[in-house]
Structure 1
Amino acid sequence: MESNIVYLWICAFAIVHPVVHGHQETLPQPTASDKLPLLIKMNNDFAFHLYKRLVEMPEYQSKNIFFSPFSVSMVLSELSLGAGGETKQQLLGGIGHNSSDFSTEEMHQMFHSLLEEMDQRTGVDIDVGTALYVGDTFKALPDFLEKMKKFYHSEGFTVDFSVNETLDKINMYVKEKTHGKIKQAVDYLEPDTLMFLLTYIYFKDIDKRTIKDLEMAISRQHIEKWRRAVQKRKVDIYVPKLSLKTSYSLNDILKGMGMADMFTDKANFSGISEERIFISKALHKATLDIDEEGTTAAAVTTVSMRPTSYSPMQTLRFDRPFMIFITDKKNDNILFFGKVVNPAEKQ
């Protein structure tokens, strides 16, 4: 087949009235908002599972670990919108979804509620969002795009992945959304990329107290309490300064958490497109800065999707003699033919 190259706690109060005429009392069914704590529990459990997988990886042992599990779980939940069959089950199982707690529809609604709540947050500067870049020749299903916008406030862009400007646009977008904390979200895009999905999160603690706040709150009782409690002693006060920058390839980590098919030709993303596609790369980058001004953190999770007509092997090692062919893709005409026995030999 010819391939296409396009490379809080929410409290709900209800008044319950008994049903007359001998019928059993009818109780209201819990809504998605009522189950929001269950989603938070799922996300927090996922955070520890992901952390354990990270520290088990040899390349990350004895190194600082810092990441945003919410960014990762959100992008995986978004992918489940367009997944089917075993791929969908692996995604849902990997993030810890339990159908007895809430349905997948409720899960997406609760992610939406969380994003809505974060938009209204005061006392901290927090920004969470999603961007979806779609190749200009790739036909994504309208239903998937509509759900991405409805549940995850996704911004959509149509781009040409074969030009360098697209890479620059993505990196500039992330840089702006993370207030300059993540300047290079992605280093390279394969020309045959079909779709690029990212979630970002930015956090800065700004509920700083001023002298005006103290003036309005202080009273005689405070002075008397402090005077009784005061003790004379010497102390050393340290303001911790910390700056971390981390980067993780999530392919093997997510495979180890049971989400393997989406990285292979077994991937089922029939809810995204009629074309067969798979995830070629899943990356996560995060930063953390702690100083006298407070705490600032940012993270981005990116997913690149390509056509499955390309064999999605993670590693292909030519460590023995092999034959090589260069063919004309349009008509399979063999343009070059050869055999390599010793790659170091130039002639």
Structure 2
Amino acid sequence: MKVFVFWFLSQALFCNLVFGRHLNGEHHDDEHDDDHRKIMPYLQIAPSNEKFSYKLYSQLAAEHPDDNIFLSPVSISAALSMLSLGAKSQTNTQILEGLGFNTSVIPDEDIHKGFKQLLKIHNRHNKDQQLSTVNALFVDKEIPLFEKFSEDIKKSFQFEAISTDFQNSEEAKNQINSYVEKKTKGLIKDLLDSLDQQTKLVLLNTIYFSGTWENAFNKNFTREEDFHVDENTIVKVPMMTREGEYRVAFVPESGCVVVDVPYKGNTSAIFILPDAGKLHDVENALQNVSLQTWTKLMKPMRIILSIPKISVSTTRDLKKDLCQMGIKDVFSDRADLSGITGASLRVSKAVHKAVLNMGEKGREAPGATRTGTVATNPPPTAVFNRPFLFIMVDKNSSCLVFIAKIMNPEK
């Protein structure tokens, strides 16, 4: 119990410090109290969000030790929280406990308030970041939905409930794919390959991100270089290289180097390079110690950084993964979605697609980028030319927007 309390308070303090920079120091005490109350819903759900992120990643990593893994935990959590608005009894309990919440400690209402606040934070767009999300429920046209539920998910979660003719599976597939392509302005196409006529409800969540680095990589220094997938496999990848100051942590007890590569705005990509042969040890350490433990060790340091220029994309039906995490009833005939409709209904598919483009684009700082020169005392290097992890963090909320393992950048 003491460990849980310490964890919760440390997360709350971290988030409070992040949000605190947005508060005006000249506000009166009652105004500070108002601001504090406004952010409390997010502070309550922050530890559970991180717990869910690591648990889901760990489960996928154990099942796919040699494959790339890429997902957006906060997007999945928000989608499931939305679904729980219409879930009742054991179905609702399984969803919220599967997301890491102790439902005897935090009320459903506070959980939903927290996600509503979180979505507002993440939907703050700017010219330096292209963030496109699509959240929708596609429901069989023969199943009438409660008007209140449809209004609630649209208002609080930016979700749409869309009537679909699943008896015509080809038409339903095309409807869903066209909807996503239109909503993402062509960034995500052909999401689904097929649907069967037994489908009644599809929970859909997609997220696309392309950002501008705080400091650009010079395209002239991008070279095709070796990436060591394993002892016997080498592939050629375009490697971006830049010399500059980054926050860096060397963690010998966990066998890794951690580098914070910031985007313009409120997002950072935390790159984690395990020592050779230590990837799975680092994965285990990450779940046990959490990312904050390593970021606290970071110090500004001038290094030569090399990372692959990659586009990462994955599409998963999360049904099996979520069932293994205890979220079972919602996918079975035991589902109680009586807050959505008076008819019998269960989730047929829970589709999650995440896409990330990582290139050289960034703020140009004359004289800040310097490679290819011979220095008397060259700075240390961090070359991500073997399997590595990266975690994209929203600094406004400290949420894990993306978490990934890159085993082979070519796949």
> How high is the TM-score relative to the length of structure 2?
0.55
Once residues 74 and 187 of structure 2 are traced to their aligned partners in structure 1, the CA distance between those partners, rounded to angstroms, is 18
The offset of 1:291, in angstroms, is 2.5
State the alpha-carbon separation in 2 of the partners of residues 285 and 128 from structure 1.
10
Measured on the aligned residues, the alpha-carbon RMSD in Å equals: 3.4
Q: Deviations over 1:78-110 (max 9, x none)?
A: 111111111111101000123466422122222
Tell me how far apart the structure 1 counterparts of residues 356 and 330 of structure 2 sit (CA, whole Å). 30
Counterpart of 1:19 in structure 2 is none
Question: Could you give the per-residue CA deviations for residues 104-153 of structure 1, whole angstroms, max 9, x where no partner exists?
Answer: 21222222222222333434222334223233221111221121112112
Matched, 1:41 2:47: yes
**CA–CA distance in structure 2, aligned partners of residues 89 and 183 of structure 1:** 35
Q: Which moved more, 1:200-209 or 1:70-79?
A: 200-209
Superposition pairs for residues 239-258 of structure 1, below 5 Å?
A: 240-258=308-326
Q: Secondary structure at the match of 2:316?
A: strand
1:239 and 1:291 in contact (8 A); partners too: no
Comparing 246-255 and 81-90, the one that deviates more: 246-255
Contact 2:41 2:111 in 1 (8 A): no
Distance 1:243 1:15, change over 3 A: closer
Q: Matched residues in 1 for 2:356 and 2:36: separation?
A: 38
Alpha carbons of 1:120 and 1:275: their partners in 2 closer, same or farther (altered >3 Å)?
same
**Which residue of structure 1 lines up, in the alignment, with residue 123 of structure 2?**
119
Q: Paired residue for 1:93?
A: 97
Q: Which stretches in structure 2 are left out of the alignment for 5+ residues?
A: 1-14, 217-244, 246-302, 363-389, 393-400, 403-411
What code does the residue aligned with 1:116 have?
K
2:107 counterpart of 1:103:
yes
Which of 320, 324, 330 is matched with 1:262 structurally? 330
Per the alignment, residue 84 of structure 2 pairs with 80
Partner of 1:128: 133
Counterpart of 2:51 in structure 1: which amino acid? D
Q: Structure 2: how far apart are the matches of 1:191 and 1:10?
A: 47
1:282 corresponds, among 350, 354, 363, to 350
> How far, CA to CA, are the matches of 2:65 and 2:185 in structure 1?
30
Q: Structure 2 counterpart of 1:77, which letter?
A: S
What secondary structure is seen at the aligned counterpart in 1 of 2:52?
Answer: helix
- Counterpart CA distance in 1 for 2:110 and 2:304 is 51
Return the structure number with greater relative CO, CA threshold 8 A, min gap 6. 2
Task: Report what 2:65 is aligned to.
Answer: 61
Distance verdict in 2 for CA 1:15–1:161, change over 3 Å: same
Answering whether residue 164 of structure 2 is matched by residue 159 of structure 1, we say yes
Stretches of structure 1 that go unaligned for 5 or more consecutive residues are: 1-7, 17-26, 211-225, 227-234, 300-347
* Residue equivalent to 2:212: 206
2:176 is the alignment partner of 1:170: yes
**Structure 2 counterpart of 1:140, which letter?**
L
Amino acid at match of 1:193: T
Q: 1:181 to 1:63 in 2, by over 3 A?
A: farther
Contact in 2 for aligned 1:115/1:128 (Cα 8 Å) = no
Q: Would the aligned equivalents of 1:124 and 1:207 in 2 still touch at CA under 8 Å?
A: no
Residues in 1 aligned to 2:35 and 2:311: alpha-carbon distance in whole angstroms = 47
Partner of 1:310: none
Q: 2:196 is matched with which residue: 184, 190, 193?
A: 190
**Per the alignment, in what secondary structure is the counterpart of residue 278 of structure 1?**
coil
Q: Secondary structure at the match of 2:346?
A: strand
**2:155 matched residue in structure 1:** 150
2:187 and 2:313 map into 1 onto residues whose CA distance is 9
- For 2:238, the equivalent position in structure 1 comes to none
1:10–1:36 contact (8 Å) kept in structure 2: no
Structure 2 partner of 1:141: 146
Question: Is the contact made by 1:135 and 1:161 (CA closer than 8 Å) also made in structure 2?
Answer: yes
C-alpha separation in 1, matches of 2:165 and 2:305: 54
Aligned-partner residue type, residue 202 of structure 1 = Y
1:267–1:14: structure 2 CA closer, same or farther, 3 Å change rule? farther
1:136 to 1:111, Cα distance in 2 relative to 1, 3 A: same
CA distance in 2, matches of 1:32, 1:15: 14
Task: Indicate conservation of the 8 Å contact 1:178/1:200, yes or no.
Answer: no
Please state whether the residue corresponding to 1:66 is helix, strand or coil: strand
Give the Cα separation in 2 of the matches to 1:82 and 1:237.
48
User: In 1, distance between residues paired with 2:149 and 2:65?
Assistant: 38
Q: Which amino acid is the alignment partner of residue 95 of structure 1?
A: L
Q: Return the alpha-carbon distance in structure 1 between the equivalents of residues 28 and 325 of structure 2.
A: 40
- Contact 1:74–1:199 (CA under 8 A) maintained in structure 2: no
- In structure 2, relative to structure 1, the CA distance for the partners of 1:127 and 1:115 (3 Å cut) is farther
